[in-house]
Structure 1
Amino acid sequence: MTRRLEPETRRAEIIAHTRAMIAEGRAHGISLRAVARQCGMSTPGLMHHFPDLSELLDVVLREREDEHAAEIAAALRKAHPNPSLLDLADVSVRFYADRPQETRNYDAFEAEAYSPHHPAHRYFTGSAVRPWELTVSLAAQDYPNPEAVVRVLALVVDGLRSRWLREEDPDYWGDWVEVRDAVFATFRHL
């Protein structure tokens, strides 16, 4: 029997269960039915809150992105009163390195979503992808061509994430330290 919950409480529960499924690596072939089962409800009941899987995943991924951005910004402010783009990059890598299994599972989910038929495809390849405002403002503060800096930094991070996904036991921090000084040295010349 389905528990009776207020609509916002039920919606939050659906989002939390979906996030956990992805974080725990249980999202391969994700479906509304699988999420509904995880929530102890029927698929039509879940569809009352999220009419399709793409909409649910957009909300889940955006919420996670916003939550992580806030946590990283707070850690950055705590560690660096006048942060640079390098400080932000270091804090971000540490943040995700401290969550290796979740990071790896979300990265695997994103890789799977590059298939045009995946319900999260639109989120990862469409207009939903946005550069983080703090990244852009710190790049503008530190470098003459901030747009190029943000583009190159995104390419480097994407390459590292791909590498970490392929490795059995990735060294997030060690790999980052290995490339960061060379990457940041080039930014003044962009």
Structure 2
Amino acid sequence: MARRLSLEARRSEILQRTRQMIAEQGPEGLSLRAVARWCGMSAPGLLHHFDGLKPLLEAVLRERAEDEMAAYTAALPANPTLRDWADTVARVAMTRVEENRNFDALETQAIANPDHPAHDFYLMETRPFAATITLAEEEYPRNPQLVTEVLSTVVDGLRMHWLRSREAPNYFEDWQRVADTVFAGFEQYRA
């Protein structure tokens, strides 16, 4: 006998199961039918809650981004610097290595393919975190935009490096190897 859940509870369960599927299996074979099977329902049943794979993925990705932001915020020291923020992001990433790699693989596929259901989401989500911008403006008022662009570029490069790695990456260790050099280059943009 199937469980009876409220519409909102079923929708929440679908989001959780879809995220779990991507986190554990990666983006290969991702389809509405595969998600429906993973959720223990039919594709038409899934369509009752989400009008296709695109709105489902966008909801999963938004929820995941909100969860990540909450984790970063909870782990930050009081009165953080931009370096504290960057270090915290790398530390939190260490708590979910495989999930991050699989979602990075999803992002790579989505950005490369304009027909991918998550393509538009990832194009819109390329801007830096608001916290990054705010801290850069406070600490590096001479050129906060360049600081955020450089940080984004370095992090994107590291994410691609981690995605290619055959072994589980150590996000924090790898970040620490380059962080001093990156932040030393920012000194010229202080007040």
TM-score (norm 1): 0.92
Q: Does 1:56 align with 2:56?
A: yes
Q: Distance in 2 between matches of 1:45 and 1:57?
A: 16
Structure 1 residue aligned with 2:75: 75
**What is the distance in 1 between the residues matched to 2:176 and 2:23?**
26
TM-score (norm 2): 0.91
> Secondary structure of 1:98's partner?
helix
Residue of structure 2 equivalent to 1:108: 105
Q: Give the counterpart letter for 1:163 in structure 2.
A: H
Alignment of 1:3-152 (within 5 A): 3-76=3-76, 80-114=77-111, 115-125=113-123, 127-144=124-141, 145-152=143-150
| Structure 1 position 166, deviation (Å) | 0.6
Question: Quick check: 24-33 or 14-23, which moved more?
Answer: 24-33
Name the counterpart of 2:154.
Answer: 156
Structure 1 runs (4+) deviating above 6 angstroms are: none
Counterpart-to-counterpart distance in 1, 2:93 and 2:179: 16
Residues of 2 paired with 1:36 and 1:25: CA distance? 15
Q: Deviations over 1:146-182 (max 9, x none)?
A: 2211111000000000001111122322221111011
Gaps of 5+ in 2: none
Give the SS at the match of 2:25.
Answer: coil
> Matches of 1:27 and 1:163 in 2, distance apart?
18
How far apart in 2 are the matches of 1:152 and 1:26? 28
Aligned-residue offset at 1:107: 1.1
Distance 2:186 2:7 in 1: 48
2:36·2:46 contact (CA, 8 Å) conserved in 1?
Answer: yes
* Alpha-carbon contact 1:2-1:40 (below 8 Å) kept: no
Distance 1:33 1:45, change over 3 A: same
Cα RMSD (Å) of the superposition? 1.5
Gap runs ≥5 in structure 1: none
Q: Is the 8 A contact 1:104 1:164 kept in 2?
A: yes
Give the partner amino acid of 1:47. Answer: L
Identical amino acids, percent of aligned pairs: 52
SS at match of 1:91: helix
